[in-house]
Amino acid sequence: MSGLIKRSVTIAGHRTSVSLEPVFWDALVAAADADGRSVNAIVAEIDEARTTNLSSAIRVWLFERISPQAK
């Protein structure tokens, strides 16, 4: 896994940056495509439910999406 990539996303009408490893950005884009939603829409949903920092919450959401044991 290589270093972090910082990208801007829009949540509730404001821009914020999120730092994730490339594999997580790829998985997030794939999830958005599979769900027919935007990355911003998914990140906004994750943001509303999170109890930790946003980058960690995205990683956990992606893990739970692919791991039947995590549910």
Query: Is the full-model pTM beyond 0.75?
Result: yes
Per residue in 38-67, pLDDT (tens digit) is: 999 999 999 999 999 999 999 999 999 988
Q: Residues of 37-69 as b/e, b for ≥16 C-beta within 10 angstroms?
A: eebeebbbebbeeeeeebbebbbebbeebeeee
Residue 60 sits at the vertex; the CA angle it makes with 33 and 70, to the nearest 5 degrees, is 100
Q: Which domains does the chain have, with CATH numbers?
A: 5-70 (1.10.3990.20)
> Mean pLDDT across the chain, nearest whole number?
93
Position 22 scores a pLDDT of: 96
Distances in Å between the Cα of 17 and the Cα atoms of 33, 36, 47, 54, 56 are: 21, 23, 13, 10, 13
Most confident of 2-16, 29-43, 56-70: 29-43
